Each structure stands twice: as C-alpha cells, then as structure tokens.
Structure 1
Amino acid sequence: MATNIEIETLFKSNYAVMHRLASMLLHDGESAHDIVHDVFTSLMDKDTSGSVDTPYLLSSVRNRCLNRLRDIDVRERFKRLYIFCNNEADECDDWPDENLLEILAHCEDWLPPKCSRVFCMRFREEMKTDEIASELGMGERMVFKHLRHALDILRLKLNQNG
C-alpha cells in the first residue's frame, strides 16, 4: 500500500493533468473532479507495490471516464426508449393514423412472434409497457427490448421497400 506521503506527492504533481484529461472526456468539471479523486482513493485502498507513475494514473482516469460515459449512455438510451414507449403515442392524438396502421398490419409478418405480440399490444391495443409486462409475465426491460427489436426490424424493412 502506498503511503500517504507518496499519494500526496502524486496528487500534487499529477492532479492538474488528470483533471484536464477527465474534463476533456466528460465535458463536466465536477465529474472530472470526482473521477480524479476516485483514482487516488483507490490507490490508498490497493497494494501498489510497484511504482505508480503518470501514465498509470492517466490510464486509470481514462478508463474510469469511459466507464462513466458508458453508464451514462446506457441510462440515456433506456430513458429515451422509456419516454418513447410511454409518452410519445399518448401525446399525439392522431398517431398512429389509419394509413400507418394498415402498413403495420402487413409488417407484423416480418417480426418474431414475441416481438409481434408486444408490438401489437403496445401500438394496437395501446397498452402501457408495465401492463404488457404483467400480462405476458416478463419484466418491463424485456418489453423494451422486444419493442426496440421490432422497431429496428420494421425500420430496416420499410427503408428497403421504400
């Protein structure tokens, strides 16, 4: 384990460059500050028998930033899908229109059975995702996955066929 004096010396000599790297990757000064402090906290907890140098610290910052961005991306995609599935159709009174329903009636043949069932329940029967999940005995997350898969397939088929 590194001594407090060694960690303090590393902190003073590398904090600015580590913070700058984290800020460039995250575009958020507070998160960058947290990431840098997490790296030094982990140094205090780990057995760092070898010498810890600047490249090691910068790699640690980069990896933690990439993990943070990945987590944010997953949460944002899930949030957007959730909002789409629960609000978009409800806010628009004329959606889906009859023309779209007619097209979608033929498109369901392209979907796997579970995706087709979830898709119909959501857009034809206008059920909420939690209602679909409870009726089919699956989690809401699985309902989202089936809807996303169905929408991807339909988007691809409709783009192919004009």
Structure 2
Amino acid sequence: MQPEEFIDQINRKQMPAFRELFGSFYRYLVLYAMRYVRQQEVSEDIVQEVFIAIWESDKKYNSYHGFRAFLYDSVKNRCLNYLKHQEVERRHAEILLQEQDEEDEDHRLMREEMYRALHRAVDELPERCRQVFKLHLQGKKNEEIAQMLELSVETVKTQKKKAMYFLRERLGRLYYLLMILNIIDL
C-alpha cells in the first residue's frame, strides 16, 4: 500500500490500513517502548493503547511521515506517563509504610505505658493478692494457682476479685481499656 493511500485509509478507519499499521509498526514500537519501561508486557500494552486511541480518534493525518512521528511520540508520551504513574505509586507506598511504622510505634509506646501502669498498680496490691494476680496474668488457672500457693480455689477467686476491684479503682478508664485489649480478665 502506498503511503498516501495508507494515510487516507487510516483517516477513514479502514481495516486493511490498520492491519498494515499493526504489521508494519507493532514490533518496532514495542521495542521503542522497551527502551523506556523495560518491561515487555507493559510495552505491548502501551503500543496497543496507542493503536486503539488512533482507531477511536477523529484526528486526521496529513502525511505518512507526520503519522509515523505521531506514533512514536504517542508511544513515548504514554511510556513517560506510565513511569510517572509508577513513581507516584512508589511514593504513595513509601508514605503508607512510613505511616504504618509510625502508627505501630505509637501503639507499641501506648501498650508499654499501659503495662507499666498495670504493673505499678499490681505492685500496690497486698502480698497474697499480688501473688494470685501475677499468676493469673501469666495465664494460670484458678486450680493451678491454688495448688502453687497452697490455697483453696475459693480463696484464689476471692483474691482475684479483690485485685480486680482495686485495679478498677486505681486505673480508672485504663482498667476498661486493658479489659477490652484482653490484657486482664476475670
């Protein structure tokens, strides 16, 4: 097909011209895109998007050389847009990770402060009550605590209730937060 006929058919959206466009330019445009994005699949997608844009466009082309330059410029611009988009996504991901790290650090500091407050309050408990409650915090069951401290199970339950009442009074709202976080329970 002669260059003038080719441009005329492209302008009139004739399928034979688009088949020739694909056959003549696709491989070269993909290689050209690869110089920018360095990914075969992305390069192929970009070239296909350019072809689709030409098909859907009402733009009229005046010359074969102008059309050819337009193809390469379109591929280059789409590659640059792709790279800009990738950079924006990378920066966004970095910001999210940084925010997550800061949030994790804030949570860690809050949790440490809650534990310190809890342990200070536990240290104020009477001796027997403190022993029972510390074993409870270690995950021991009432029967285990009773056996370890040579107490009845009922005494262990009573001491735990006294400890919980004391902690509720001493810690105020923090007590309920500790319960919600499942740090302390009955």
Q: TM-score, normalised by structure 1?
A: 0.52
How do residues 135-150 of structure 1 correspond to structure 2 at under 5 angstroms?
none
> What is residue 33 of structure 2 aligned with on the other side?
22
**For residue 100 of structure 2, what is the aligned residue in structure 1?**
86
Give the distance between the partners of 1:4 and 1:56, measured in 2 at CA.
19
Alignment of 1:1-162 (within 5 A): 1-50=12-61, 51=63, 53-87=67-101, 90=104
Q: Share of identical aligned residues, percent?
A: 29
Check whether the contact 1:26–1:32 (CA below 8 A) recurs between aligned residues.
yes
Is the CA contact 1:2–1:49 (under 8 Å) kept in the aligned structure 2?
A: no
Instruction: Report the equivalent of 1:142.
Output: none
Which residue type is aligned with residue 82 of structure 1? L
- Whole-Å Cα distance in 2 between the matches of residues 4 and 11 of structure 1? 11
Q: 1:80: Cα distance to partner?
A: 0.5
Q: For structure 1, which runs of at least 5 residues remain unmatched after alignment?
A: 95-162
1:137 corresponds in structure 2 to: none
* Higher RCO structure (Cα 8 Å, ≥6 apart): 1
Q: Distance in 2 between matches of 1:32 and 1:16?
A: 10
RMSD of Structure 2 on Structure 1 (CA): 2.2
- The whole-number CA distance in structure 2 between the counterparts of 1:3 and 1:65 is 27
Looking at structure 1, the residues matched to 102 and 33 of structure 2 have their Cα atoms a distance apart, in angstroms, of 36
Aligned counterparts of 1:49 and 1:5: Cα–Cα separation in 2: 17
In 2, Cα distance between equivalents of 1:88 and 1:16: 47
Equivalent pairs counted in the alignment come to 94
Task: Note the residue ranges of structure 2 that are not aligned, 5 or more in a row.
Answer: 1-11, 110-186
Counterpart position of 2:147: none
Shift of 1:89: 6.6
**SS at the partner of 2:13?**
coil
Give the C-alpha shift of residue 28 in structure 1.
0.7
Q: CA deviation at 1:87?
A: 2.1
